[in-house]
Structure 1
Amino acid sequence: MTRPLRLAIVDDYPVVVAGVASFLAEERIHVVETGTALPVLSDVDIVLYDTFGQVQGRDLNLADFVRHSGAKVVIYSWNLKPDLIDEAMAGGASGYLSKVLTGPVILGALERIMAGEAVILVGDHETSVGGAGDWPGRSVGLSPREAEVLALIARGLSNREIAERAFVTTNSVKSYIRSAYRKIGVERRTQAVIWALANGFLTDSSRTIDPALHQRPQASPKA
């Protein structure tokens, strides 16, 4: 493609959206719109759905994001279970990208998707360490997985519900909880919720549209 990709980033956590936007800023990508899990308003090429603390798998209605546009939906996640990827692609996703991928690799994948390919890039299979962008609690050492579990606790989910939402075992959830509690210095669930809500885990219902990019540039006339 000769022009920058027009992208909308969807997630309920401002720090997550800002982190992804910053990570992609150096690539040939224009982040036109950011916001919550609501239908995208702008004329964009791709809706990048960040799965942090969000619905995944069969309960995800991808059509909700692009009701009135031809944008393609791409899942951006560190949850790389094959059955989850299959569900997302069967549900209408045009791509599924791991958060361990570098910016240039993501750009190349998005350009292939715009050319009509269905692209799945899982990268490194270690999904609880590293990762691009940002997430709540990163500054105190929480891994993406620990932060996601804490976000779901703050939303009032039980361990079983978290396991179902994050596609991990209940024992894994308990392990993430123990390590997260140790890092943030709490011992009980109520303390964890209070800490989470005071440290960036409060969801946001706002939407941001870059006024400089809201209008799609007109194609240059042919000579």
Structure 2
Amino acid sequence: MPDARTPVRVAINDDYELVVAGVAALLTPYADRIEVVELDSDEPTVSDVDIVLYDTFGQDQGEDIDIESLTVAGSPKVVIYSWNLQPELVDGALSSGAAGYLWKGMPTADMVDALEQVHAGQTVTPPAAARPDPAVGAWPGKEFGLSGREAEVVALITQGLTNQEIADKVYLSINSVKTYIRTAYRKIDVRRRSQAVAWGLNHGFAPDHSRMLDPQHRHPAR
């Protein structure tokens, strides 16, 4: 395990600022062990960190994750953080170069342990009994009562994906996608896809483009 006096340096990556900030907030009480030095939305990591923690909300899954595109500095390990725990997604992510696969719903203390284990050279994956917890973290639309899954579907609708494309991207059945769409539409008070897209664009569901660096650390020039 890493020395307790030397925190694991982590960058958090996702296309949504709110999602990235939500994951960072989970780790804040453990700053003596996990040092979050960069937050990236639709940007590759530029800091020389130990781990890039990639949140899959509204993003590519499994073997479709482009591990190499997530960083332009150093050789950090990439760890996936996801609600989607299907074995084929876990195996696909690992075969694409991910060093670990963490599940939303694991206690934050366990998440910190897992990041330290990955940093020490171990591979951490979800146990058979792991279950995702849609209450973990933050996501666009949470304040409107959208569950994490409903929000992810709305995000993908806002990106212009069809129902089948959404099902393929997040590895849900087409009927499950339709169910999430129906329940989400009721909560945001829309009836048609065009209305959902307009609502999403006005409520933070368009992917962000930003980078936040810890000013206390030096970063390589771009």
Shared topology, TM-score over 0.5?
A: yes
Aligned with 1:26: secondary structure? helix
Deviation at residue 163 of structure 1 after TM alignment = 0.5
Q: Which amino acid aligns with 2:211?
A: R
Q: Distance in 1 between matches of 2:128 and 2:35?
A: 24
- Point out where structure 2 has 5 or more consecutive residues left out of the alignment: none
Q: Distance in 2 between matches of 1:196 and 1:213?
A: 35
Q: Which amino acid aligns with 1:36?
A: S
Give per-residue Cα distances to partners, 1:92-150, cap 9 Å, x unaligned.
Answer: 1000000101211011001111111111135864436322x100011111111100000
Deviation at residue 60 of structure 1 after TM alignment = 1.4
Q: Which amino acid aligns with 2:188?
A: I
Q: Distance in 1 between matches of 2:63 and 2:113?
A: 27
Alignment TM-score, normalising by the size of structure 2: 0.91
Q: How big is the alpha-carbon RMSD for the aligned residues of Structure 1 and Structure 2?
A: 1.7
Q: 1:14 aligns with which of 9, 12, 17?
A: 17
Q: Distance in 2 between matches of 1:52 and 1:8?
A: 16
Q: Which amino acid aligns with 2:189?
A: G
Alignment TM-score, normalising by the size of structure 1: 0.91
Deviation at residue 168 of structure 1 after TM alignment = 0.6
Q: Does residue 65 in structure 1 map to residue 63 in structure 2?
A: no
Q: Which amino acid aligns with 1:20?
A: V
Deviation at residue 64 of structure 1 after TM alignment = 1.5
Q: Distance in 1 between matches of 2:24 and 2:73?
A: 23
- Point out where structure 1 has 5 or more consecutive residues left out of the alignment: 217-223
Give the % identical residues: 51
Q: Does residue 162 in structure 1 map to residue 145 in structure 2?
A: no
Count of residue pairs the alignment pairs up: 215
1:97 match: 102
Q: Which amino acid aligns with 1:9?
A: I
Q: Distance in 1 between matches of 2:110 and 2:183?
A: 32
Q: Does residue 55 in structure 1 map to residue 72 in structure 2?
A: no
The within-5 A match list for 1:1-223 is 1-2=2-3, 3-27=6-30, 28-121=33-126, 125-127=130-132, 129-131=134-136, 133-214=137-218
